Amino acid sequence: MPAEDFVGHGGVPFSILDLAPITQGSDARVALNNSLDLARHAEQWGYRRYWVAEHHNMPGIASSATAVVIGHIAGGTESIRVGSGGVMLPNHVPLVVAEQFGTLETLYPGRIDLGLGRAPGTDQLTMRALRRDLPKHADSFPQDVRELQGYLATANPGQRVRAVPGTGTEVPIWLLGSSVYSASLAAQMGLPFAFAAHFSPDLLLQALDIYRHNFEPSEVLSKPYAMVVANVFAADSDTEARRLFTSIQQSFVNLRRGAPGQLPPPLEGNERPWADYEQDTIDHALAFSFVGVAETIRDGLQNLINKTGADELMLAGMIYDHGARLRSFELVAQVCKQLEYRQNIVAA
């Protein structure tokens, strides 16, 4: 992993996590084209990375073939780092992942990240369709990560199985998670770690503490590097931002009810078609969601940085209207520049 990818860049860098949302009345082609459009804008606005996530059998998410989508994004941009947030490694054999990401790194050198997760990214039935040998994959995540590292490293003399392309590309590997398991493994392996606080906030601080206190320096990383993922919904008024936020709230309720679907349009007025107990569940799961005008977002992100000591923030925003999503991330980019300026002043 290139050391310069984790040195100081003048404040905490900001990145984007995209699930390529398929909105109601639209289709996957539109979603993927919208993702490329957002990535091009993100590059202009100064975001460091643009990651897409692996999910399966989800009517509202178009990024199931994650490596293919990364190629689509990287091929349509010039400098922003593009990667997976993440590839669910137990769904794949390490050699195939090494070949896919080795190919991406060969095509777009110095721009590809490989974030790895151990969750299925889907329901149990679909997981069985993806994994033909479930018992074998149940507890093999650490071994699979090490095998994948070996394929991406310089080949050893006499090594008979190689990833071509892939060998020697040293694609940066991240471990992703929403529990202490991945935090512990990332610390043990000396890898960067990203915590998915945007949907699972409970163990954030505990996981970061475990990661930092148990970190063992490695050939790729000399000290801990922790990314925190949160949601942002920015608009030119608080009312509009809260309206945009209702799309992901609806999606979350539908998912919990066992009826996932395409991303619905925002609710109007005070309409809330869910029960009080469901509202409590929404509020808890989406606790790290910053909703409002630029000043509100700025204060929320600054508090998150102060609370977690994050080395980098990755921001998600499942917004129904593509123009509103662009505007949200544009406002957040302006906020990020303000925060970086503040951090530089403090550091000086």
pLDDT digits (tens, 9 = 90+) for 300-319: 999 999 999 999 999 999 99
Q: What's the token pair of residue 21? A: 């949302």
Q: Quick one: pLDDT band at residue 156, thresholds 50, 70, 90?
A: confident
Residue 2 falls inside a structural domain: no
Range of the domain at 114: 12-347
Question: Which pLDDT tens digit goes with each residue over 175-191?
Answer: 999 999 999 999 999 99
pLDDT at residue 348, as a whole number: 42
Q: Which residue has the higher pLDDT, 135 or 84?
A: 84
Q: pLDDT at residue 137 above 90?
A: no
Residues 66 and 80: their CA atoms lie apart, in Å, by 17
Residue 5 falls inside a structural domain: no
Q: Name the domain count of the chain.
A: 1
**Average pLDDT in the 35-61 region?**
96
Residue 190's domain is classified under what CATH number?
3.20.20.30
In this prediction the pTM is 0.92
Residue 78 falls inside a structural domain: yes
Q: Which residue has the higher pLDDT, 123 or 18?
A: 18
Beta-carbon contacts of residue 160 (< 8 Å; ≥ 6 apart): none
Residue 1 falls inside a structural domain: no
pLDDT at residue 4, as a whole number: 40
Residue 4 falls inside a structural domain: no
pLDDT cut 70: percent of the chain above it: 89
Residue 3 falls inside a structural domain: no
Residue 6 falls inside a structural domain: no
Q: Quick one: pLDDT band at residue 1, thresholds 50, 70, 90?
A: very low
Q: pLDDT at residue 168 above 50?
A: yes
Beta-carbon contacts of residue 161 (< 8 Å; ≥ 6 apart): 95, 151
Helix (H, G, I), strand (E, B) or coil at 314: strand
Give the dihedral sign, CA 224/229/234/239.
negative
Beta-carbon contacts of residue 134 (< 8 Å; ≥ 6 apart): 127, 128
